[in-house]
Structure 1
Amino acid sequence: MPSPEEVLVLWNLFKQGDWSAYTALYDQHFTPLNNYGYKFTKNVTLIEDAIQDLFIGLWTNRQNLSTPVSVKNYLYKSLRNILLRKAQNQSRFVEISDDNSIPFEVSFDQYIIVGEEEKELRTKVNFFLTKLPPRQQEIIFLRFYEDFDYQEIADIMGITVSSAYKLLYKALHSMEVALNK
């Protein structure tokens, strides 16, 4: 993945109508956005439609777009909003909500497991992550897997920075209690 500065250069070129910069942004962000969308719904078609809508909207409105502080943050927040809107507008899809009704899976396939102790610990962590409420799972994913800071997380999730700190603390505390049993 290119640096945030390189992504901003692509963003500015894209805003000027550079098709290759636009396709580079799409290619670089499609898989991470797809993985993030999968945290909300298992409906791959819905996720891919949402990503397509996001990028079509970007191209259509490129002249009116400002330059965000973080393109990655902007894309995640935009995808989240599109998925929420699509889920609410289409009754055949599962509604995305703040309650515990939607499981939020965390994948460890990005990491190479070294040694049996680490493998066992990862298995326990994965198990206990699936037992957390969806919003706690989401904040752990955004903070530790996508490396967003608290301001970016608050922006993406539509909460205050203070709430982001509290939500992550709750999630980590619950994990600690569960792991120490």
Structure 2
Amino acid sequence: MSHEQIVHDDHNTATWLAFKEGNWDAYTRLYNNHFKILNNYGYKFTRDVNVIEDAIHDLFIRLWTNRAGLGNPVSVKNYLFKSLRSIIFRKLQSKSRFVDLEDEAEHNFPFEISFDQQIIADEEELELQKKIKFHIKTLPPRQQEIIYLRFYEGLGYDEIADIMEINVSSAYKLIYKAFDNLQDVLKASKLAIVLALYSCFCVNNH
């Protein structure tokens, strides 16, 4: 974890504690600081903006209503990710678009990669990144999700496991399965794929 992430996490923790005590300014700050990244994460499960925004609003209504009984998460952002994920799945189920958390093929996870801010000197690496951009969209949704959380959000495997509601061992297996699938189609080493993924994504320090 970088120094900037630590400072930001400390800031989030202070805001969280103040919110739990009923501080309305802290509550609105919590909402404003996280709405954009929560909306972006929700978009990975559905393109229905109304569902995403309703889920985020439901999440924050529940937070305020239940604030007195809430714990103190190690990472506020991860706690919000996990909570939003659960609410969105329930909303999709209620719309008769069944989502099975155990079946990778059941829920949609539209995936986007941006190269806008990348400076790439090596043409072969650029070509590999282009291929990854294409083939990553063919992976099962949960494999796409774990790559997003690992390489775009920069989360650790324990954090990913908590958000996806799997154990850490399963998180490792899931991402290596994704690497295997990419390796099969790209005919490149896992190391080259991992390095290309790190180059593809601007890891956010929210």
Maintained 8 Å contact 1:103/1:130: no
**2:23 alignment partner, one of 18, 22, 42:** 18
Q: CA deviation at 1:90?
A: 2.0
For 2:60 and 2:139, the matched residues in 1 are separated by 32
Alpha carbon RMSD of aligned pairs, Å? 1.9
Identify if the C-alpha distance between structure 1 residues 3 and 29 changes in structure 2 by more than 3 Å, giving closer, same or farther: same
Name the TM-score, length of structure 2 as normaliser: 0.80
Paired letter, 2:141: P
**2:146 alignment partner, one of 123, 139, 142:** 139
Identify if the C-alpha distance between structure 1 residues 79 and 179 changes in structure 2 by more than 3 Å, giving closer, same or farther: same
For 2:134 and 2:107, the matched residues in 1 are separated by 16
**1:5 aligned partner:** 10
Range 54-63 or range 146-155, more displaced = 146-155
Q: Which runs of no fewer than 5 residues in structure 2 stay unpaired? A: 189-206
Q: CA deviation at 1:103?
A: 4.3
Name the TM-score, length of structure 1 as normaliser: 0.90
Percentage of pairs with the same residue? 53
Q: CA deviation at 1:102?
A: 4.4
For 1:110 and 1:48, the matched residues in 2 are separated by 27
- Does structure 1 residue 57 correspond to structure 2 residue 62? yes
How many correspondences in the alignment?
Answer: 179
Deviation string 1:16-42 (CA, Å, 9 cap, x unpaired) is: 111111111111111111111111111
Identify if the C-alpha distance between structure 1 residues 151 and 115 changes in structure 2 by more than 3 Å, giving closer, same or farther: closer
Q: Which runs of no fewer than 5 residues in structure 1 stay unpaired? A: none
Maintained 8 Å contact 1:38/1:47: yes
- What does residue range 89-168 of structure 1 map to in structure 2 within 5 Å? 89-91=94-96, 94-97=97-100, 98-109=103-114, 111-115=116-120, 117=123, 119-168=126-175
